[in-house]
Chains A and B, each alone.
Chain A
Amino acid sequence: MTATVPKCTLVIEREMPHPPEKIWRALTESSLIDEWLMKNDFKLAVGHRFQFRATPVPNWSGVIDCEVLVVEPNSRLAYSWGTLRMGTVVTWTLTPTPGGTHFRMEQSGFPSEDGPNYKGAKYGWRNSIDNLERLIGGMN
Chain B
Amino acid sequence: MQAITDNVFRALADPTRRAIFERLARDGEQTVHALTYRAGVSQPAVSKHLGVLKRARLVRFRHEGRETHYSAQPQALAPLAEWMSMYGAFWRDKFDRLENLLNSKTF
Residue tally, chain B, CB below 8 Å to A: 39
* Interchain CB contact under 8 A, A122 and B86: yes
B55 at the interface (CB under 8 A from A): no
Size of the A side of the interface (Cβ < 8 Å), in residues, is 39
Interface of A is mostly: mixed
Nearest Cβ on chain A to B97's Cβ, whole angstroms: 4
- Contact B101 A32, beta carbon cutoff 8 Å: yes
Distance between Cα atoms of A136 and B90 in the complex (Å): 14
B 69-91 to A, binary, CB cutoff 8 A, 1 in contact else 0: 00010100101111110111111
Tell me which residues across on chain B come within 8 A of A12, comparing CB atoms.
Answer: 88, 91-92, 95
**A117 interfacial by beta-carbon distance below 8 Å:** no
Structural contact, A121 and B83, CB atoms closer than 8 A: yes
Q: Are A85 and B10 neighbours in the complex by a CB distance under 8 Å?
A: yes
